[in-house]
Chain A
Amino acid sequence: MKTKSIIKLQFIFLIVCVFTTTLAMANVFSKETVQEQYTIETALIEEASEDNGYCYKLRLSISKTDAGGTKWLVHTATILTGPYCECDGEVLSSSTYNVKDYIVEDPKISGVPITDFFTANPKMFPTYIQSRDNLIK
């Protein structure tokens, strides 16, 4: 009887270990499948020069890829930026991330301005900054 108890104990212990391990791995893998929802890309239109007030003109695009792999354009805007660039008009800025760029055109393809996106997703500013700075060498 006692031997049977030991066997039962062993079996229960094994089941608990396997179950716990499975749960732990599932948690790990589920976290690994979570990916960034939005993609921020910038494209160089015009380099900074004396003629344009030392402003780089960029196209900023924000897109989202769905589960089927289709890339949807969510926002796009024409941006002026540069260390010596100043412009009238709407500003794309963040004091937290030290950003102050200028929006010269925003077609509001999603029906809302691109600034709304960064207001709702301020943590996307670093991604924008990195993409922008890769063009401004």
Chain B
Amino acid sequence: MKINQLFKAIFRAIFIATICLTSFVSCSSDANITEENKENQLTLKSTEPVPDFEFTTEMISIEGGCFKYRVSLFWTLTNLDGTTTTYLMNDVLMQSGVGCDYEGEVTNEYTGSYKDEWIISDERYNDAKPIRVFWDSHPEEYIEYTLVRDKVIR
């Protein structure tokens, strides 16, 4: 009887521990399912039309209140066979905020002040327009750029 009681106690403990272990596993499985759902959502989004222009922004430095960052403009070309090729058009160094050092910066048709920012340099490829000219002629793209920029510069 005593041995039986001992066995019952051990089995009861194992059962409870198994329940606890199962709850952890189900939590991680839920997380995996969530990630799978995210991947499925991304897969669905890939069927949407690829935008012609796309901006990316990466922070380079923050000194005081001056933000220095790189802005890239990409252009996606749809080929005759339906495939797409994305080209880098503009590689732009910019700064904004307070306390930025403008000494030595030369203002020309490519660089200088643009709205609330300062274009330090604008490397253009593939016959790209200067970025300020592009933004002036594509105000909707400028808005898209500001949305991307503001996610980086907080």
- Cβ-defined contact, A10 with B12, below 8 A: yes
Within 8 A of B (CB), among A62-120: 63, 68, 70-73, 76, 109
- Cβ-defined contact, B58 with A14, below 8 A: no
Interface-side segment among B17-25, B45-53, B99-107: B17-25
Q: Hey, which chain A residues are within 8 Å of B10, CB to CB?
A: 9-10, 13
Q: Which of A7, A44, A68 contacts B85 (CB 8 A)?
A: A44
Q: Hey, which chain A residues are within 8 Å of B66, CB to CB?
A: none
Min C-beta distance of B1 to chain A, whole Å: 10
- Cβ-defined contact, A45 with B28, below 8 A: no
Q: Which of B17, B57, B125 contacts A21 (CB 8 A)?
A: B17
Min C-beta distance of A80 to chain B, whole Å: 14
- Cβ-defined contact, A45 with B13, below 8 A: no
Q: Hey, which chain A residues are within 8 Å of B9, CB to CB?
A: 6-7, 9-10
Query: For the complex, is A129 an interface residue (Cβ under 8 Å from B)?
Result: no
Q: Which of B6, B14, B125, B152 contacts A45 (CB 8 A)?
A: B125
Q: Which of A3, A22, A61, A73 contacts B59 (CB 8 A)?
A: A73
Q: Hey, which chain A residues are within 8 Å of B24, CB to CB?
A: 21-22, 25
A 1-19 to B, binary, CB cutoff 8 A, 1 in contact else 0 = 0110011011001100110
Interface size on A, residues (CB 8 A): 30
- Cβ-defined contact, A43 with B74, below 8 A: yes
Tell me the complex Cα distance, A71–B149, Å: 11
Tell me the complex Cα distance, A6–B13, Å: 11
- Cβ-defined contact, A71 with B17, below 8 A: no
Within 8 A of A (CB), among B126-151: 126
Q: With A2-B2, A18-B20, A72-B59 as given contacts, are A45 and B88 in contact (CB-CB < 8 Å)? A: yes
- Cβ-defined contact, B12 with A71, below 8 A: no
Q: Hey, which chain B residues are within 8 Å of A3, CB to CB?
A: 5
- Cβ-defined contact, A71 with B72, below 8 A: no
Interface centre among A7, A63, A68, A72 (most CB of B within 10 A): A72
| Between-chain CB contacts (< 8 Å), 7 pairs | A10-B9, A14-B13, A14-B16, A17-B13, A44-B85, A71-B59, A72-B58
> Which residues on B are within 8 Å of A, measured CB to CB?
2, 5-6, 9-10, 12-14, 16-17, 20-21, 24, 28, 57-60, 69-70, 72, 74, 85-88, 91, 125-126, 152, 154
> Which residues on A are within 8 Å of B, measured CB to CB?
2-3, 6-7, 9-10, 13-14, 17-18, 21-22, 25, 28-29, 43-47, 59, 61, 63, 68, 70-73, 76, 109
Known contacts A21-B24, A28-B28, A73-B60; 6 further A-B pairs (Cβ under 8 A): A6-B5, A25-B24, A43-B74, A47-B85, A73-B70, A76-B70
